Structure 1
Amino acid sequence: MATGAPHLSAGRESVAVTGRVTGPDGGLEGVPVTDGVAVTQTGPDGRYELAASPRRPFVYLSVPSGYRLPTHETGTARFYRPLGAAGGGTAEASFRLTPLDRDDEQHAFLFLADPQTRTAAEMQQFRDETVPDVQEAVRALGDRPVFGVGGGDLVFDELSLFSGYEAAVEEMGIPFVQAVGNHDLNFDAPGDPGSTATFRQHFGPEYYSFDRGAVHYVVLDDVYWPGSDGFGRETGDYHGHLDAAQLAWLEQDLALVEDGRPVVVFTHIPPLSTAYERRGEDSPSVRGRIGNRAALYELLDPFDAHIVSGHVHENEHRFADGPHEHVVGTVCGAWWTGPVCYDGTPKGYAVYEVDGDSVAWRYKATGRAADHQVRAYPSGADPEAPGEWVANVWDATDDWTVVWYEDGIRTGAMARRVGLDPMSRRRHEGDNQPEKHTWVEPQPTAHLYYAPANPDANRVRVEATDPFGRTYVARPSPNRG
């Protein structure tokens, strides 16, 4: 790893990139600069030199805490410069950073998984429903600096809709970083590098990092595309994978981060979705996990790490391999067919608030108040449990407390087990619905809670308390969906 600003001369195998990173008071020292292969840092006067690979399209920096994320006019992040070698194999790339107008030790971010618009009408629905909801969520966060994350599948194979996504980001009014998803690819590309060509034109590098307050943030590209044969035929399906160059870059990037610091990684495909276990399958699909995730876990081991992803259209938390893995329900729900994902999670996004080293989160259902965190069903709603109350607590982890009351008296803790959400069954089950995409089916989820129904109880309520001490209430209704 290169550090400081050493003397550098370019050979045939590299481009000698020079430049300076400045703020209002002059050069900024210690800012990481990279081409996605090598990492260097600026010297005391903000200058750097980098021996960049001629095959890399960009030179970019890791924006330090206290400074705005540079953006395009649309609000999407622009912390990069195209790497175009001048005569003699040299290039120049300088960056000027603007300080935030307030301290960022307290800040927030919104993770929007899978907008996944396939048509102009769906893009308009995204702009009509999600944009004003995000605007309200940002207002509710007060004066914290806020950024957004487009968690991949920004569109659904129709890459011309990227411009509509950019327009939506501009309306939301906060800077956005983007991860690449499997539906954001050029499927006619002969291999993985070419598959993100259109994504790069709009959003820049596929992987990068930046700081906010005490937190180091990393965006990774974990969608590997084996390519087409040049005649419109796929040579294989995409799968979750972090290539060697990206992992080598990440090792250098994290070497500049103090052990024990919070590190939040954004990917599209989760390291491991446990959907296969809930379906009774022996192994996960190559499309639902990062095949070489152990390498990622090893790099993150020294840190207080969170990995936030989308992709599978459900909500899940997983802790088994060290980092806290957040799988976030989708903006589009079940592909814009109605109000819920196929596990019953409302369509929406996640809101994270950071105070120093502490990270708190809450799922935000589109069009609903922030305290909409539970949906309760009456006895008989689940045909597999005809004599039980059912509650879907979609953001639950093992440290939530979920209890039920009968006629004002606390009766006990509800039992958590795998099942099908009743609303999802009514809306998605069977060959003829939902009409828009009849292939959508309810999927088993592990965030359902059950309690024996008392036919003599006149009033029932469910209370769910999250790890941050916030309690949410829901009452069973016979008309849930």
Structure 2
Amino acid sequence: MQSRRLFLKRAGLSTATLLFAEKILADPYRPLMPLFSGIDPVRIRGAVRSHGKGVPNVAISDGLSVVKTGSDGTFDLHSVSTRDFVFMTIPPGYAIAQNPTGTARFYQPIEPRTNGDATALFDIAQLPHSDTMHAFFQLADPQTLDEADVSRFRRETVPDVYAMARQLADRSLFGVACGDIMFDRLQYFPEYEQGVKEMSIPFFQVLGNHDVERQARTDEASSATFRRHFGPTYYSFNRGEIHYVVLDDIFWFGSYIGYLDQPQLDWLRADLAHVERGKTVVVFMHIPAYCEEYKRSGKKSPDNAEVITNRELLYRLLEPFRSYILSGHMHESEYLKDGGVEIHVNGAVCGAWWTANICGDGTPNGYSVYQVNGSGLTWQYKTTGKPIDHQMTIHPVGADPRHPDEFIANIWGADSRWTVLWYEDGLKKGLMDRRLGRDPEAVRLFEGPNLPKRHTWVDPSPTDHLFYAKPGPAAKEITLEARDGEGRVFTGKLG
């Protein structure tokens, strides 16, 4: 049976778009957007103010150039008529302004007068306390297709995030919807916005491959609806000691590949030129820069729609910094390093497209909670509807027919630093064995040509966050002790 990802990627492809993709992949580092005649210069003058006083040293950009405000908070930015927005990099210590919908407001449309001049004023409020300690929620792939999906998102995810935000109310908070907010039906963006309003914290948005105008045949036209709701598709902001960047890695041509175009890379270079070397930089993008799903599935190389094809250029720009790349797209959990960067592929809010309560690798429907203290990050995956210390599912002996004498623990948040001990009737037995396999519940729910009924293209996916051990025949109680890289201990019990 054709896989879910292959099915979605290739639906609607034409010979022309395939040939265009081949040209891109043949030379992925070649700039694709030459300057066209008829582009007019635009001069944008304005200021960043707080309580009527200018705020100096704030980065201002149109997505091409980056300038900083002077000592009086004013700026003078030379742009061109093809740019839609002017935006600021929110400085540390200032609140994130919000649209009436609750989404972050850090941008303004560029509206030049007949003489080519435009103005932009940004008013920001100073926080009552330091944001050196802050937290954020990463919601990957809400991916609502219809009213039923919207209802689950609003009924399950939204109140869960709101409750989690209240637990962390002593910190400055924000959220990031990390792409595939929609499942092609962009008319539901207002429903998402209403959910953001109910979660009561400002949200930044990342463009996903299902957030584009599918009838568009150019990358530039594909994000029009997204931009109308949320502003630019790439930008940056600061919280405390951390510099955050949102990138648009969806290159759309009737289908899509993971790709960062030259104007965006040039902007990122200019943006990072204002960031002190050695600082922590966190990048949000929808498609992972790199993941190893292809290895787990027995393929020789990753699919060009599941990684960034020109990721080496991104890695090069991030070299001077302590960098993280946070993404979604894969509907599974993975933590790895590539190109000197720590990469987190987060499980999906919708799990397996709202067909159940888990993803194809057994990761529960949920989102990630990151807490920041100074320049350091800690993180946990938050299962929707469960306490945050719920970090494993334990399957009984025989759940995996390939290993009929062993029980399994699926620990979806486990990176290479985790250790998992097991005890039999109170006696310590040692470390569990980490292996590649398939989550038994995912197999039960998704395997077969007629499962799941709503989206029969969903399949269980191989994962390497499964831990195995063989208990004795007389064992009555099995307990687990999983320790993460921060020393936090999570326990579970079988029997």
- The answer to whether the superposition gives a TM-score over 0.5 is yes
Aligned to 1:247: 265
Aligned to 2:112: 85
Aligned to 2:418: 400
Identify the match of residue 101 of structure 1 among 121, 128, 141: 128
Aligned to 1:430: 448
In structure 2, distance between residues paired with 1:169 and 1:62: 21
Give 1:18-33 correspondences, 5 Å limit: 18-24=45-51, 26-33=53-60
Aligned to 1:298: 316
Identify the match of residue 212 of structure 1 among 214, 231, 239: 239
Query: What one-letter code is carried by the residue in structure 1 that aligns with 2:330?
Result: V
8 Å Cα contact 1:309-1:328 kept in structure 2:
yes
In structure 2, distance between residues paired with 1:12 and 1:438: 48
| Superposition deviation, residue 322 in structure 1 | 1.0
Give 1:95-244 correspondences, 5 Å limit: 95-227=122-254, 237-244=255-262
In structure 2, distance between residues paired with 1:138 and 1:129: 15
Identify the match of residue 369 of structure 1 among 387, 406, 426: 387
In structure 1, distance between residues paired with 2:43 and 2:52: 27
Aligned to 1:418: 436
8 Å Cα contact 1:377-1:475 kept in structure 2:
no
TM-score by length of 2: 0.91
Segment drifting more, 451-460 vs 468-477: 468-477
Query: What one-letter code is carried by the residue in structure 2 that aligns with 1:151?
Result: C
Identity %: 49
Deviations 1:209-264 (A, max 9, x none): 0000000000000000014xxxxxxxxx2010000000000000001000111100
| Superposition deviation, residue 156 in structure 1 | 0.3
| Superposition deviation, residue 142 in structure 1 | 3.2
| Superposition deviation, residue 12 in structure 1 | 6.8
Determine whether 1:73 maps to 2:100.
yes
CA RMSD of aligned residues (A): 1.1
Query: What one-letter code is carried by the residue in structure 1 that aligns with 2:60?
Result: V
8 Å Cα contact 1:17-1:90 kept in structure 2:
yes
Counterpart secondary structure, 2:494: coil
Segment drifting more, 434-443 vs 355-364: 434-443
Aligned to 2:26: none
8 Å Cα contact 1:210-1:216 kept in structure 2:
yes
Query: What one-letter code is carried by the residue in structure 2 that aligns with 1:312?
Result: M
Deviations 1:120-142 (A, max 9, x none): 12111100000110011111113
In structure 2, distance between residues paired with 1:18 and 1:467: 48
Aligned to 2:31: none
Counterpart secondary structure, 2:404: coil
In structure 2, distance between residues paired with 1:65 and 1:257: 12
Counterpart secondary structure, 1:467: coil
In structure 1, distance between residues paired with 2:344 and 2:91: 25
Per the alignment, do residues 199 and 341 of structure 1 end up closer, same or farther by CA in structure 2, a change over 3 Å counting?
same
TM-score by length of 1: 0.94
| Superposition deviation, residue 25 in structure 1 | 5.3
| Superposition deviation, residue 471 in structure 1 | 0.9
8 Å Cα contact 1:107-1:146 kept in structure 2:
yes
Deviations 1:32-59 (A, max 9, x none): 0000000000000001001012101001
In structure 1, distance between residues paired with 2:39 and 2:421: 67
| Superposition deviation, residue 320 in structure 1 | 2.9
In structure 2, distance between residues paired with 1:149 and 1:284: 26
Determine whether 1:322 maps to 2:348.
no
8 Å Cα contact 1:15-1:89 kept in structure 2:
yes
Query: What one-letter code is carried by the residue in structure 2 that aligns with 1:401?
Result: T
Identify the match of residue 382 of structure 1 among 400, 419, 422: 400
In structure 2, distance between residues paired with 1:172 and 1:264: 23
In structure 2, distance between residues paired with 1:468 and 1:204: 37
| Superposition deviation, residue 13 in structure 1 | 3.9
In structure 2, distance between residues paired with 1:467 and 1:83: 46
Aligned to 1:312: 330
Query: What one-letter code is carried by the residue in structure 2 that aligns with 1:262?
Result: T
Per the alignment, do residues 140 and 12 of structure 1 end up closer, same or farther by CA in structure 2, a change over 3 Å counting?
closer
In structure 2, distance between residues paired with 1:179 and 1:188: 20
8 Å Cα contact 1:12-1:89 kept in structure 2:
no
In structure 2, distance between residues paired with 1:185 and 1:168: 20
8 Å Cα contact 1:37-1:53 kept in structure 2:
no
Aligned to 2:286: 268
| Superposition deviation, residue 187 in structure 1 | 1.3
Counterpart secondary structure, 2:144: coil
Query: What one-letter code is carried by the residue in structure 2 that aligns with 1:244?
Result: Q
Determine whether 1:355 maps to 2:373.
yes
Deviations 1:301-358 (A, max 9, x none): 1111110000000000011321110000000000001110000000000000000011
Aligned to 1:450: 468
Q: Which runs of 5+ in 1 are unaligned?
A: 1-10, 228-236
Determine whether 1:463 maps to 2:490.
no
8 Å Cα contact 1:115-1:126 kept in structure 2:
yes
In structure 2, distance between residues paired with 1:89 and 1:412: 71
Count of residue correspondences: 458
Aligned to 2:33: none
In structure 1, distance between residues paired with 2:185 and 2:227: 15
8 Å Cα contact 1:153-1:180 kept in structure 2:
yes
| Superposition deviation, residue 296 in structure 1 | 0.6
Divergent runs of 4+, >4 A: none
8 Å Cα contact 2:290-2:338 kept in structure 1:
no
